[in-house]
Amino acid sequence: MKQDKKIFLASKSPRRKEILKDMSLDFEIVDSDYEEDNSVESDPVKLAKIHALGKAKGALKYVDEGIIIGSDNFVVLDGKQMHKPKDKDDARKMIESLSGKTHEVICGIAIIDKLSGKEVVDTSVTKVTFIDLSKEVIDRYIEVADYIGKAGAYGVQSEASVFVNKIEGSFTGIVGISKELLLEMLNKFD
């Protein structure tokens, strides 16, 4: 991919960083002073867009020129948003509720060109189906897995990969940022 502008990723997520590296993008990590508030919108697709754009806008003051990418992910089950677990009990409840069901992972992406002010915001929705999980499997997962900081209390690229029966959509959209959608959006910038 030909890259004319400097790219900044407004995220400290190691997963998003790895995905952009895999896309052979030349980018820098930049801070964002955006504070997420999940109560501002009940529609999960709109909320993902709000957070992604907020993160990108929150990084504008830290760059002189270039484009800034903001992103946000969360899990939606039966129309209800599942964010990052607060503790072990919260994580256990999340995994139990996902067991044997299909849920959606919403990935919001926003890109802002600092100089022109051009903004592009979009989302990808990926459906993920978990197998039925026994209490013992869930307990073991809670003891050994790194679920902290992960929407829905799981990372599809790590221990929870064995829970997945089927994925419909962007795998990287579940991991951290949909590279298919990101590439499509980047193509809208010079």
Examine the residue annotation and report whether 72 is marked as an active-site residue of this protein: yes
Strand partners, 128: 103, 167
Between CA 69 and CA 25 the distance in angstroms is 12
Between CA 102 and CA 88 the distance in angstroms is 22
- Which of 64, 72, 90, 146 is the catalytic position? 72
Provide the annotated active-site residues: 72
